[in-house]
Amino acid sequence: MTNPYEEHLPKCNANYQSLTPLSFLERAATVFADRPAIIHGQTQLTYNEFWQRSKRLASALTQFNITPGDTVSAMMSNTPAMLICHHGIPMCGAVLHAINTRLDAEAIALQLDHADTKILVVDREFSEVAEQAVKRASVTPLIIDYDDPDYPDDAPKPKGPLIGLSEWEDVLATGDPDFIWRRPPDEWDAITLNYTSGTTGVPKGVVYHHRACALMAYNNTIHANMSQHSVYLWSLPMFHCNGWCYPWTLALTGSTHICLRWVRAAEMYRLIAKHKVTHLCGAPIVMSVLLNADDSEKQSFEQSVNFNVAAAPPPESVLAAMYDAGFMVTHVYGLTEVYGPAVVNVWQEEWDHLGRSERAIKQARQGVSYAGLERLDVMDPNTMKSVPRDGSTLGEIMMSGNIVMKGYLKNKAATDAAFQGGYFHTGDLAVIHPDGYVQIKDRSKDIIISGGENISSIDVENILFQHPDVASCAVVGKPDDKWGETPIAFVELHAGRTATADDLNAHCRANLAGFQCPRQIIIEDIPKTSTGKVEKFKLRDLAKQL
């Protein structure tokens, strides 16, 4: 029997359009035409100007023979040009590849070749390393220099040379502001490419599509509680999961981007106070910068500021200090493969009545799914069965839904492996609590198995963090003939603090089971990736040599 709801009711232009976040900027150019879209130093762009300049870029790229599916790479700080790249590049069907600006020439060259970059837009802050990268690469991209007129005088690095044949402003001048942008024929079409920084192994090119970025814009707005004319400070690098999709998110509410070339306390406090910033995001290091600022660097502000932190659970002392400083911290969790945050620690009203440390325990958990992530679960990766919601049974965090990547570029094997069994395998080991909140216990490769007992390196690190002198720490396994592995701790102290390994050892003994305690505690600098992640594989090598 035919289903009458499927007869003569096809999709057509009137009732179906590809989802894309680009349409949000188009709308904002009408609804919020004269509102400030971007503020950067002395520069201010309205939403209409943002839109016009994005169309100019798209138009200019087509004049350079860029066609749909071509890669345009950008090595840029958080500037108006980078926001324009997020819109203008996909507006002509090209794919934006945002390069981690902390990488060296060799790593960048690998990416340019893998992405088959046709054009490279380079901020003069990075022109030297970019030039070296292009020399090493097999591809020969056309280079566009971005010479930021608001480059701060006190930047730690002077502007590098012009290395391209074209300059940003000249390119935009050739573009047509009335360019008819290309809505993707299929919302599944790629919009950006992001290489995983990875703590081990070879970077993989994560492909984002238009549909998910549009959904992320809705989800960020709702889950970060943005409202009309919020003000967003760019403390999170835009090359990091496309700034968690916030370059597209703000257009929905006509909110304002406050650019920031690099993270430093005085400038952040100045911008927060001056522009009445309501939202910012970042890794825990950004909180440290704000909290450890000199009094001379701080400025008071009246608004409450939402801080979305990812990468590590915020410790109680940091949460309390941030609250006292005027920031409401929300812990989010995600990976490059899920467009940034896909899990959020939603605040529950009954937590209002908890003491400080009980609150911190609740907030340290990664949380619950974004509405756009259809399924979040903790499973046994062998059986693909959910673990019980008991807060103790370890499993792997699995995700499925519309904000999971399209896959890895030119890497079918890795894509298939990541999506085995119909779920994205995060590689993060976690428990799920009775209230449905997920809590990470370790990366699957970071679990330490000692005498048959699983030791969560995060559990040990959390205890070390509770010691007031500890600024940073990482625990890894060292091969051991008798036990299989034994835990070794690497610790950085706060400036001026004096705890010894023995002090820390006593602290661990007082708070952990014997088998969990580190066999050795080493106080020294901890190697980190360009995005601030601890490089545990290097620590494992060090541990082996002990």
Whichever of 415 and 454 has its CB closer to a copy of itself, that residue is: 415
- The answer to the question of residue 138 lying near a copy of itself (CB under 8 A) is no
Q: Which residue has the tokens 């907030």?
A: 363
Q: Minimum CB separation from a copy of itself for residue 246, in Å? A: 15
Q: Which two tokens stand for residue 433?
A: 């609590």
Q: Minimum CB separation from a copy of itself for residue 425, in Å? A: 9
How far apart CA 110 and CA 330 sit, in angstroms, is: 36
Exactly one of 407, 477, 487, 518 binds a copy of itself (CB under 8 A); that residue is 407
Handedness of CA 311, 317, 321, 326 (dihedral sign): positive
Instruction: Give the N- to C-terminal CA distance of the chain in Å, as an integer.
Output: 73
Exactly one of 255, 369, 450, 456 binds a copy of itself (CB under 8 A); that residue is 369
The kind and range of the H/E element at 521 are strand 520-523
* 199: exposed, middle or buried (Cβ count in 10 Å: 0-12, 13-18, 19+): middle
Segment 339-368, which members bind a copy of itself (CB under 8 A)? 346-347, 349, 368
How, if at all, do strands 205-209 and 407-408 pair? antiparallel
* 513: exposed, middle or buried (Cβ count in 10 Å: 0-12, 13-18, 19+): exposed
- The answer to the question of residue 482 lying near a copy of itself (CB under 8 A) is no
Segment 248-267, which members bind a copy of itself (CB under 8 A)? 252-253
Exactly one of 110, 222, 273, 285 binds a copy of itself (CB under 8 A); that residue is 222
Segment 230-249, which members bind a copy of itself (CB under 8 A)? none
Q: Minimum CB separation from a copy of itself for residue 383, in Å? A: 17
Q: Which two tokens stand for residue 174?
A: 């050739």
The kind and range of the H/E element at 222 are helix 210-223
Exactly one of 86, 257, 362, 406 binds a copy of itself (CB under 8 A); that residue is 406
Exactly one of 188, 303, 351, 497 binds a copy of itself (CB under 8 A); that residue is 188
How far apart CA 197 and CA 205 sit, in angstroms, is: 10
Exactly one of 116, 167, 480, 535 binds a copy of itself (CB under 8 A); that residue is 116
Q: Minimum CB separation from a copy of itself for residue 98, in Å? A: 15
Segment 413-442, which members bind a copy of itself (CB under 8 A)? 415, 418-419, 422-424, 435-436
Strands (E) located in 456-530: 470-480, 484-493, 520-523
Among 5-13, 293-301, 477-485, 514-522, which window interacts with a copy of itself (CB under 8 A)?
Answer: 5-13
Q: Minimum CB separation from a copy of itself for residue 253, in Å? A: 7
* Residues shown for the chain: 546
Whichever of 222 and 321 has its CB closer to a copy of itself, that residue is: 222
Segment 152-181, which members bind a copy of itself (CB under 8 A)? none
How far apart CA 284 and CA 441 sit, in angstroms, is: 18
- Spatial contact of 210 and 397, defined as CB atoms under 8 Å apart: no
Under rule CB under 8 A, how many of the chain's residues touch a copy of itself? 68
- The answer to the question of residue 305 lying near a copy of itself (CB under 8 A) is no
Exactly one of 23, 54, 197, 531 binds a copy of itself (CB under 8 A); that residue is 23
What region does 198 belong to: left with phi over 0, alpha with psi -120 to 50, or beta?
Answer: left
Whichever of 419 and 537 has its CB closer to a copy of itself, that residue is: 419
Helices (H), 233-332: 241-244, 246-249, 265-275, 284-291, 316-324
Q: Minimum CB separation from a copy of itself for residue 58, in Å? A: 17
Whichever of 404 and 534 has its CB closer to a copy of itself, that residue is: 404
Under DSSP, the state recorded for 526 is P
Whichever of 13 and 42 has its CB closer to a copy of itself, that residue is: 13
- The answer to the question of residue 495 lying near a copy of itself (CB under 8 A) is no
The kind and range of the H/E element at 112 are helix 105-115
Whichever of 6 and 295 has its CB closer to a copy of itself, that residue is: 6
Beta bridge partners of 305: 327
Exactly one of 63, 65, 69, 150 binds a copy of itself (CB under 8 A); that residue is 69
Q: Minimum CB separation from a copy of itself for residue 422, in Å? A: 4
Q: Minimum CB separation from a copy of itself for residue 131, in Å? A: 26
Residue 483: count other Cβ atoms within 10 Å of its Cβ.
18
How far apart CA 403 and CA 286 sit, in angstroms, is: 26
- The answer to the question of residue 185 lying near a copy of itself (CB under 8 A) is no
Q: Which two tokens stand for residue 523?
A: 């106080």
Whichever of 424 and 465 has its CB closer to a copy of itself, that residue is: 424
What region does 532 belong to: left with phi over 0, alpha with psi -120 to 50, or beta?
Answer: left
Exactly one of 266, 371, 471, 501 binds a copy of itself (CB under 8 A); that residue is 371
Whichever of 193 and 309 has its CB closer to a copy of itself, that residue is: 193
CA atoms within 13 A on the CB side of 316: 16
Exactly one of 17, 292, 357, 500 binds a copy of itself (CB under 8 A); that residue is 17
Among 293-301, 410-418, 451-459, 526-534, which window interacts with a copy of itself (CB under 8 A)?
Answer: 410-418
Q: Minimum CB separation from a copy of itself for residue 35, in Å? A: 8
- Spatial contact of 35 and 256, defined as CB atoms under 8 Å apart: yes
How far apart CA 366 and CA 22 sit, in angstroms, is: 30
Beta bridge partners of 375: 400
Handedness of CA 332, 334, 340, 343 (dihedral sign): negative
- Spatial contact of 309 and 336, defined as CB atoms under 8 Å apart: no
Exactly one of 218, 262, 515, 537 binds a copy of itself (CB under 8 A); that residue is 218
Nearest by Cα to 49 from 87, 98, 76, 96: 87
Query: Which spans of this chain sit near a copy of itself (rule: CB under 8 A)?
Result: 3-9, 11-17, 19, 23-24, 27, 30-31, 33, 35, 68-69, 95, 116, 188-190, 193, 207, 218-219, 221-222, 225, 227-229, 252-253, 346-347, 349, 368-369, 371, 374-375, 399-402, 404-407, 409-410, 412, 415, 418-419, 422-424, 435-436
